[in-house]
Structure formats: structure tokens, C-alpha cells
Copies of this chain bind each other. A is one copy, B any other.
Amino acid sequence: MNDVQELVTRADEVAPEFAATSAAERRALLRGIADVMDAGADELVTIAGEETALPEARLRGELARTTWQLRKFGDAVVEGSYLEAVVDHADPSDVPPRPDLRRMLRPLGPVAMFAASNFPFAFSVAGGDTASALAAGCPVIVKAHSGHPRLSRRTAELVSAAVEAAGLPAGVFGLVEGFEQGLALVDAEPIEAVSFTGSVAGGRALLDRCTARPRPIPFFGELGSLNPVVVTAAADAARGDELAAGLAGSFQLGAGQFCTKPGLVLVPQGSRLIQELPAQVAEEEPTMLTERIAEGFATGRAAATAVDGVEVLAGGGGATAPTLLATDASVLLANAEVLLEEVFGPLTLLVRYADAAERESVLAELPGSLTATLHAEDSDDIDGLVDRLGRLAGRVLFAGWPTGVAVSWAQHHGGPWPATNTQHTSVGMTSIRRFLRPVAYQDAPERALPPELRDDNPLGIPRRVDGRLVPGA
């Protein structure tokens, strides 16, 4: 029995016990993890800085976001609406007549998480996937990202300490490392779901593997995204300089290593933005998260600049130099296969359009994205654009830039393929839905029902009763 099998067996054994914990117990666990991470912030940030080359301020901010997120999930579990509890009393007038039916969501069981390279806290060992799965009541086994192994191990130690301090069995949380171990985790029979943040190719391989299991399991991938931005002629004329500054900041933030980096910007011909932007592109070459990401950036950039009609407006020299490209809509459309590939890193492609029709013809060709951003003026007629962007992406922004992702009930971090392969989000409170499945109880005696479904609703959670939503206590 290797490490993975041991961890999975242990997780499987404790799954019923962990599923049976109360909401208050799981909130205490999540707060406990947040507390030990906050207490260990100096050490964690130091290790993270050494392994990722990300600046300290960014890492401190990301850690704060991560512990805040853990606490938010704890609060959501106690609030209880995530259970989608429904009580339907018997009704003989239904067709067919309805027995007493009560339903709520239950944890899936042990789940596997593949950590990302680019957020060593927020999308890694104790990040959003782990927080939401623990909140749901599922044991978690994380596959560490090879980009920050020491940080992963240290974070895992802290999580395990918090699990122990909460009086829960060690099987609630585990960490594995290495490519082969990751595959063994996906194949392990008791694993009930896999979540992943990373490349389209990696996600595609894991999706296929999850589906090919003797017992297929759901795969929740957050994959590639172009994050198109549309600037109308009126917006460009009114505030092209301001937009240039905003875009410069957004596409170079964190060396462009964000899944929400704006990678393609539709600007009107003769744009002010396009004139202002080159001067705001940094000359300094950032250190990328890993060698592999640096190589991928160089390859992607070379493929784009090799296209006839693509101009390099800034950068393009040094291996990881922030790079600003520009081209015409017609060139993009003729080279969609190359130019609509995400280049992970500090690069964005400005695409000039002659008129609304040409802009629409580009939008119609774009693949799915996590985000789409519209910069327009009150004078613009945007109805068609909003509808189009809503079909393209999971989040449509009307101000600012897509590189910030708030953690809230209304957040959606997902979108049409290849942004994700699912109808779920990986950020925000509703990401917990990935790790739950419904169970209905028919004509159950009071003593057989979970408290959440009893008539007296002792926990005071929000429910739907006989068709009507009833807020919590």
C-alpha cells in the first residue's frame, strides 16, 4: 500500500464521521485553520516568497484573503442555506399525489484537489477548493503543486494541526506530491470528485481520466481564459488614457500570471488607448513562477508574433518581458487558431476594429472565458454587447479590470469551455455546491430526519416549505 492508497483509505473511513459533524463544528475547524495560518503568516510568506518569487505585499494580501475565505465558509455553513433544504408536506392534490418529501444536500465523501501554481495560498493547499470541500463535510486530499513544495508541506502541517485541535480524525485532510501520486489519487476508488485549477491540457487529461474510471466521478476544472475586453469608441475618446493605465496595471499584475488576466482587448481604430499604452509597459523582466511557465510564455509569445500583421508595440525582447501586441480584426479572424490561444504571462493583444459589425464578428469567434469586460459610455447602446458578453463569459465587468476576484455569494468564477467544464464556480460561497449531492427522505419519521429537515427547524436555517422560501431565524 503506497502513501496515496493509505491517505485515501483513511479519508474514506472517516468520511461518515466527518459528514455527521455539526455546522458549528465545521465552522470551528475552518476558523481554526484560518487562525493557525494567520499566526504563521511571517513564516508562510517567507517560504512562499522564496519559492514563487512573488512580492511580499502580494503574498500577505493573498494570505489574508485565504484566511478570510476560510472564515466566510464557516459562517456560510452555519447560516445553512447552502443545504437547499426543502420540506414538502404530503399533498393528495398533486399529480401523482405527493407523499411527505424532504430534501437537503449531503457531502459527497473524500475529494481530491489539484493545487495551482499561481496562487500559493488562495488556490493551493488551504485555498478555496479545500475550504469549500471541508465546509461541505468532505475529507480533502490535496495534490501539491510542484512550484511551492515547502510551502505546501508547511501549510498542510498547519491544517492537520487544526484538524487535530478541532478533535477531528487525521483522515479529514491529506497531502500528496508528484505527478504519479496525483494520477493515483484520481484513480483511487473512494475518491468522489476532483477539482483542479490549471491549464486546458492538464484539465482535459484529468477530465478524461475522471470519466474513464470504472465509476466515473465529477471533475471541476478551472482552465484557460482569454478574458476579452471591449472598449467602445466613445469610451476610448472619453478616457483612453485612464483605460490605458488600468489595462497596463491589470495585464502586468503578478507578471500576468492570473487566470483572469485580460489577454485580448478590442479597441476602435485610431484608439487613444493604443497610443498611451506602450509607454506604460515595464521594461523590467519579472521572474515567473516556474521555469515551465516561463518557457510556455516564450513559446506562446513567439507563436503570436510570428503571425503576419501582428505588431509588437512594447516588450518582446527579453525572455519574460511584458509584451504588448496589436493587430487588426481581420488578421485575428484569419489566424484565430494561433491568436485566440491564452498566453499565460504578461502579454496582451490589442485588436483594432473598424465598426460595431467587425467587433461583433470577432466576439462571435471567441472561446469561452472566465470574464469579459466592457468599457462603454452612457451614450453607447450596449444591449447587444451585454448579451453577447454574457454568453461568452461567467463574469461580465462594466468598470475596472478582471484581475481581482472577490469572494462573495454573487461571485462566479467559471464560464463556457475552456474556462471551465462545469456549470459551477470555483470561487465564492456557491462553490460549495460542487461537493454536495441531494438526498430526499420520503415519509420519514421525525427521529430519522436530520435536524435541518424537521418541522420545528431547530437550527433555524432558511428552507423552502411547501414551495415557498422561508428565511432563516
Contacts and interface: CB of A to CB of B under 8 A. Distances in A.
Interface of A: 16, 20, 61, 64-65, 68, 79, 81, 84, 86-88, 91, 94-99, 101-103, 106, 108-109, 204, 207-208, 211-212, 215-218, 374, 378, 382, 386-387, 390-391, 393-400, 404-412, 414, 416-418, 421-423, 425, 430, 433, 436-445, 447-448, 462, 464, 467-472
A118 to B, nearest CB: 16
A202 to B, nearest CB: 14
Nearest to A212: B208
Please tell me how many copies of the chain the complex holds.
Answer: 2
B106 A390 contact: yes
A451 to B, nearest CB: 13
B422 A218 contact: yes
Contact of A472 (B61, B408, B469): B469
B404 A96 contact: yes
Contacts of A61: 96
26 contacts: A16-B387, A20-B387, A61-B96, A64-B95, A86-B410, A88-B409, A91-B408, A97-B406, A98-B408, A101-B406, A106-B390, A215-B418, A217-B417, A218-B421, A382-B447, A386-B448, A390-B439, A396-B441, A396-B442, A396-B444, A398-B443, A400-B442, A412-B438, A412-B440, A414-B438, A471-B471
A390 B216 CA distance: 20
Given A99-B400, A398-B445, A409-B467, 12 more contacts: A65-B96, A88-B410, A96-B407, A103-B412, A207-B211, A217-B417, A378-B445, A395-B442, A399-B443, A412-B439, A414-B438, A471-B471
Contacts of A430: 84, 438
Contact of A417 (B96, B216, B374, B406): B216
A410 B443 CA distance: 12
A470 B439 CA distance: 25
Contact of A103 (B65, B79, B410): B410
A437 B95 CA distance: 29
